[in-house]
Copies of this chain bind each other. A is one copy, B any other.
Amino acid sequence: MSSTETWQEKANKKRSSLYQLIPQAWRLSDLILQSLPKDCTMVPVTCGILSELDLEITEIDDIDELSCRIANGIYSAVQVTEAYCKRAAIAHQLVNCLAEILFTQALDRARSLDEYFKSTGGKTIGPLHGIPISFKDQFNIKGVETAMGYIGYLGIILDHNSILVDCILSLGAVLYVKTALPQSIMLAETRSNLLGETRNPRNRELSCGGSSGGEGALSALKGSICGFGTDIGGSVRTPAAGQESVPSVVGPISRSLGNIRTILKAITESKTWLIDPKVHNIPWREEMFQFQEGQKNKLCFGVIRFDQHVHISPPVQRAIDTAISAVRIAGHEVVEWDTSDNLQCIEILSKMYLADGGKDVETALEISGEPKQPGIYIGSKETELSVYENWQVNLARNAYAIKYLEKWNKTREITTTGRPVDGIISPVNAMPAYPTRFMISIGYTGIANLLQLSSIVLPVIRVDTVLDQINDGYRNSQIASESDQAAKNAYKGSEAFENIIVGLQIMCRRLEEEKAIAMAMVLEQALQSYQSK
């Protein structure tokens, strides 16, 4: 790459090279592109590019089902890989969700998996044999760049895989794409000078969220059966720099809770703590699912309705109400979760995020000379802390964490289960989705980051333009903050959020990931039963 190129030229070249990596036969016609509906989730099905087999394969939501069919020789790894490469290519043309395209390498890998399968008389190399897995462009893949949304990182070809990538490969998976993320990662949209904006497939006028928005958009278009994002403040729900006060975590994004369970189990059972010094030596705890499967035990859910910072909009209110009704009818208990300490969480988190005065991001931007994207949440001279001051913030967080556990344990007094609250149902955001260039608050997601709570998000309702009109309660709620005012201004009515799926979050204690998945399954089953009535 010539150093005389401007950052704009470098970005254009990258975008164009991505497009060139999409075979001619997989490109959407101008006719289709010029008349795209707002909700483009059906375009992959209707555009005529996917064969019947491609559709059959990519419509299978369940990893276990897909891997079973590969293991039984019904599909070859090449067939599955080609189907997902095609569908991911279509998704990218629709919402601009990819950061790297590896179709050639993917098909080579798939061929070698098929050869292994054939030569061994039907053996697979692991539970993910032939399953395409996508990664946010923060993970390293040998032989390609990890741009992380920075033009300055282009041209640096990595000579090693991230540990998780190696792990997933050892389980038999196929790498085929990396997905888009925003400049700095500290933005709840997916927007960079490098790749532009990723839009929401269910409503292209809205943002897909972020920072793992590329993964989310690809998943919604079924261009991925499972992918990995990262989360430092609500992004998924790879370490950003060496910042350790708020540990950044990796998590899967997929179409079903069963897939989340399958993939985390497979990773955990490969004992990644033996190769990754950040992973705890904790085996997969299948027993944490027992209460879920037997349905013998009554659970108690805490519920959050207001983070003390931004009031939830009518569709999110309805999602919460629906979830509460569903789990109550299923025989579980719901109690209000006290959020009176939540503003302190936001305050501590902000100090930690901004402690470097923005130097980390500025250093990355200086390489190419590209400008900052509006709205990125990074520090300035004013927010920079000394190391000593940062230690004091850590101490404040420790004290906060102890009090939070005390609060949690004390809920034993208000439940009828004999136990403290098992997990918390919470909004993810105040709004179902956001217009672009809209700075959102981390008041609903940040507590999981600050305290390393186990967290999982699942879809609950679809925005209904009739049911989700602005109601008196929302209209008359007292403005709690600037962000609250901004959110209220942005929620002009339900119409702008048509088709959006509202997800809710289940949070359990720290290192209780299996329980969080199990409780999400309880909620999902309760919702299915409730909504079918």
Contacts and interface: CB of A to CB of B under 8 A. Distances in A.
Interface of A: 163, 239, 241-245, 273-278, 280-282, 355-357, 359-360, 363, 384-388, 390-395, 397-398, 401-402, 404-406, 409, 451, 509-512
Nearest to A406: B275
Given A387-B385, A388-B360, A398 B509 contact: no
Copies in the complex: 2
A245 B242 CA distance: 10
Contact of A511 (B281, B355, B356, B398): B281
A478 B451 CA distance: 49
A153 to B, nearest CB: 15
Closest 9 CB pairs of A and B: A242-B394, A277-B401, A242-B391, A242-B395, A359-B388, A281-B511, A356-B388, A355-B387, A356-B387
A280 B282 contact: yes
Given A281-B282, A394-B244, A511 B273 contact: yes
A280 B386 contact: no
A242 B392 contact: yes
A275 to B, nearest CB: 6
Contacts of A510: 273, 277, 281
A394 to B, nearest CB: 3
Contacts of A387: 355-357, 384-387, 390
A331 to B, nearest CB: 25
Given A277-B401, A277-B451, A384-B387, 18 more contacts: A239-B395, A239-B398, A242-B393, A242-B397, A243-B394, A244-B245, A276-B402, A277-B402, A280-B282, A281-B509, A281-B510, A281-B512, A282-B282, A356-B388, A356-B391, A357-B388, A359-B386, A363-B388
A158 to B, nearest CB: 14
A384 B390 CA distance: 13
Contacts of A360: 388, 391
Given A386-B387, A388-B359, A391-B356, A242 B398 contact: yes
B451 A405 contact: no
A244 B242 contact: no
A75 to B, nearest CB: 35
A512 to B, nearest CB: 7
A348 to B, nearest CB: 11
Nearest to A277: B401
Nearest to A243: B391
A395 B355 contact: no
11 contacts: A239-B398, A242-B392, A275-B405, A276-B402, A277-B398, A281-B509, A281-B511, A282-B282, A282-B511, A360-B391, A384-B387
A386 B282 contact: no
| Residue of A275, A277, A386, A393 with most partner-chain B CB within 10 A | A277
Contacts of A511: 273, 280-282
Nearest to A352: B387
A385 B386 CA distance: 8
A405 B363 CA distance: 30
Contacts of A282: 280-282, 511
Contacts of A391: 241-244, 356, 360
A390 B393 CA distance: 15
Contact of A241 (B273, B395, B397, B401): B395
